[in-house]
């Protein structure tokens, strides 16, 4: 039987050499490394039919003597480990490439791609190692289920508000501005009372967000809803109620479904972009409309003396609630700055992480 040289294809990583020998149904294989030279001998069906095939390759740099190989019906795959984790300029010690040797483009990577692949493997190993050390929360499924249902209820509530107000706006036009409170208030009361959970959830560790930004937003909205609108009948018929409710609902119909999907480890790119972008114009507009509501309520509180703080009878005076509202206006815009800074950090962190994963 004639002895021939098979076609051999190669690729490398920093720590290994991969060889693919084009022999099908290989038998009687003898593969080993001696004096830094790989020697291959075996029988099988190659480029010139059924024959004995053999070849030898003297490597450019030292390799370990252990050789792993796996024979399939189509080829023989060989893995040789390098002594050092370094990138080789070529495979063989001789500069001229043997005629039977060619790159394996199915596995070929240049050095930078191989380094990236190596980093990804190390990151996966580190992640698995960290996860194995961290004790799994036995109530994780229950917590995610609770958060999913909370966000679903809020999404449905704010969707109803948004759709109802939009339909009424198209049908009634500007007339819908004046009875918004009487039409929407009950559902808004429910959603905003439920929103107190957004302060409790981070406080008890259900979610990994700050308590302060949530407290500022939830308590600020509830102050406007229950104190400004809820206690003053004259405020309930003003157009500013429409703008406050509409801006709140526009933000939330994107925020809550984003959190719902996060509970089931799912992401929609468009929804993610909207959740981290649409608040940039809407949040300041919402605060501005709340400030208008506060300013419009000050003369009413002065006139009615509602919620005024009485002083001792000897003085015979009281502190008007309007003074508290003026202080609240300053606190409101300070809260806008704090929350805006927090949300921008969230947005930058989110898209920086996504960009790093994409690269």
- Which residues are tagged catalytic? 283, 290
Question: What sign has the CA pseudo-torsion 244, 220, 146, 144?
Answer: positive
Q: Are 282 and 247 in contact (CB under 8 A)?
A: yes
Among all chains, which residue has been given the structure tokens 């509530």?
157
Q: Are 80 and 19 in contact (CB under 8 A)?
A: yes
Query: Angle between the 240-263 and 180-194 helix axes, to the nearest 10 degrees?
Result: 30
First vs last C-alpha separation in the chain: 53
Task: Enumerate the H helices of the chain as residue ranges.
Answer: 111-133, 140-172, 180-194, 197-203, 211-222, 240-263, 269-277, 279-304, 321-358
CB neighbourhood size of 108 (10 A): 14
Q: How far is CA 276 from CA 133, 149, 220, 251, 269, in A?
A: 33, 22, 21, 10, 11
Calpha distance 356→212 (Å, rounded): 29
Q: Are 338 and 213 in contact (CB under 8 A)?
A: yes
């Amino acid at each position: 039987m004639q002895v021939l040289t098979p076609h051999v294809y190669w690729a490398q990583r920093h720590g290994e050499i991969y060889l693919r020998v084009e022999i099908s149904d290989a038998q009687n294989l003898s593969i080993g490394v001696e004096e830094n030279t790989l020697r291959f001998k075996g029988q099988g069906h190659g480029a010139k039919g059924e024959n004995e095939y053999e070849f030898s390759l003297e490597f450019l740099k030292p390799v370990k003597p252990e050789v792993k190989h796996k024979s399939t019906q189509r080829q023989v795959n060989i893995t040789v480990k390098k002594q050092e984790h370094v990138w080789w300029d070529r495979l063989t010690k001789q500069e001229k490439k043997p005629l039977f040797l060619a790159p394996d483009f199915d596995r070929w990577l240049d050095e930078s791609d191989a380094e990236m692949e190596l980093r990804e493997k190390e990151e996966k190993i580190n992640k698995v190692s960290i996860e194995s050390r961290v004790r799994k929360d036995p109530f994780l499924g229950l917590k995610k289920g609770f958060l999913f249902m909370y966000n679903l209820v809020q999404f449905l509530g704010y969707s109803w508000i948004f759709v109802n107000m939009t339909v009424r706006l198209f049908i009634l036009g500007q007339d819908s501005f004046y009875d918004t409170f009487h039409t929407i208030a009950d559902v808004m009361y429910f959603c905003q009372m439920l929103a107190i959970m957004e302060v409790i959830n981070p406080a008890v560790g259900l979610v990994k967000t700050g308590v302060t930004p949530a407290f500022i937003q939830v308590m600020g909205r509830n102050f406007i809803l229950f104190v400004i609108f809820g206690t003053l009948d004259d405020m309930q018929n003003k157009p500013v109620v429409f703008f406050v409710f509409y801006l709140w609902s526009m933000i939330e119909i994107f925020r809550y479904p984003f959190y719902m999907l996060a509970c089931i480890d799912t992401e929609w790119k468009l929804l993610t972009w909207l959740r981290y972008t649409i608040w940039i114009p809407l949040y300041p507009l919402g605060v501005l409309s709340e400030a208008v509501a506060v300013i419009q309520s000050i003369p009413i509180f002065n006139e009615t003396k509602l919620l005024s703080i009485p002083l001792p009878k000897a003085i015979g005076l009281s502190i008007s609630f309007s003074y508290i509202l003026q202080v609240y206006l300053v606190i409101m815009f300070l809260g806008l700055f704090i929350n805006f800074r927090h949300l921008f950090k969230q947005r930058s962190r989110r898209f920086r992480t996504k960009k790093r994963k994409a690269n």
